């Protein structure tokens, strides 16, 4: 799987750890995030990753900022992107199974960094269940189209 990973200045350390994990899991990963602690605007990073997902250049994306929320809001402005903030194993698993989430948004806070590796591993290995969930994801795509996002 091809994965784009992006982060703002707060997510540099988390990104580096996750980059190695993703490679160890056998995926191709492309770093499009900040490389140092100098302040950057998270919407620019989120848009870069979301464009790659929207255009099918990459299969999935991971975004890291202070809370993950701003990244998710930005990424969800792009067609065919389903971004969600995950802070625990259950959310990581269900967002894949039920929503086919293709952009994982994480917090760079110290207390959540410990869980981030486990969350990423669950998110990368959990398949979309399809079935009744596919019908719902298709409805989301129709809303995108009706609102000019496609």
Catalytic residue, candidates 9, 95, 98, 133: 98
Annotation marks residue 105 as catalytic: no
Q: Please state whether 102 falls in left (phi above 0), alpha (psi between -120 and 50) or beta.
A: alpha
pLDDT digits (tens, 9 = 90+) for 127-144: 999 999 999 999 998 888
Catalytic residue, candidates 9, 65, 86, 105: 65
Annotation marks residue 65 as catalytic: yes
pLDDT digits (tens, 9 = 90+) for 90-116: 999 999 999 999 999 999 986 677 799
Q: Determine the pLDDT at residue 148.
A: 79
Q: Is 51 helix (H, G, I), strand (E, B) or coil?
A: helix
Q: What CATH number is given to the structural domain containing 101?
A: 3.40.1400.10
Report how many domains make up the chain: 1
In the chain, which residues have pLDDT < 50? none
**Does the model's pTM come out above 0.85?**
yes
- Containing structural domain, residue 122: 2-146
Q: Determine the pLDDT at residue 150.
A: 63
């Amino acid at each position: 799987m091809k994965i784009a990973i992006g982060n703002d200045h707060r997510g540099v350390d988390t990104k580096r750890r996750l980059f190695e994990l993703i490679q160890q899991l056998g995926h191709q990963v492309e770093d499009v995030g900040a490389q140092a602690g100098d302040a950057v605007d998270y919407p620019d990073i989120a848009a870069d990753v979301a464009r790659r997902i929207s255009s099918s250049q990459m299969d999935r994306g991971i975004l890291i900022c202070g809370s993950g929320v701003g990244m998710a809001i930005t990424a969800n402005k792009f067609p065919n992107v389903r971004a969600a903030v995950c802070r625990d194993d259950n959310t990581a698993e269900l967002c894949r199974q039920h929503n086919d989430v293709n952009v994982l948004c994480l917090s760079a806070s110290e207390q959540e960094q410990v869980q981030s590796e486990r969350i990423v591993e669950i998110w990368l290995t959990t398949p979309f269940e399809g079935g009744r969930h596919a019908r719902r994801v298709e409805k989301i795509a129709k809303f995108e189209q009706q609102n000019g996002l496609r």
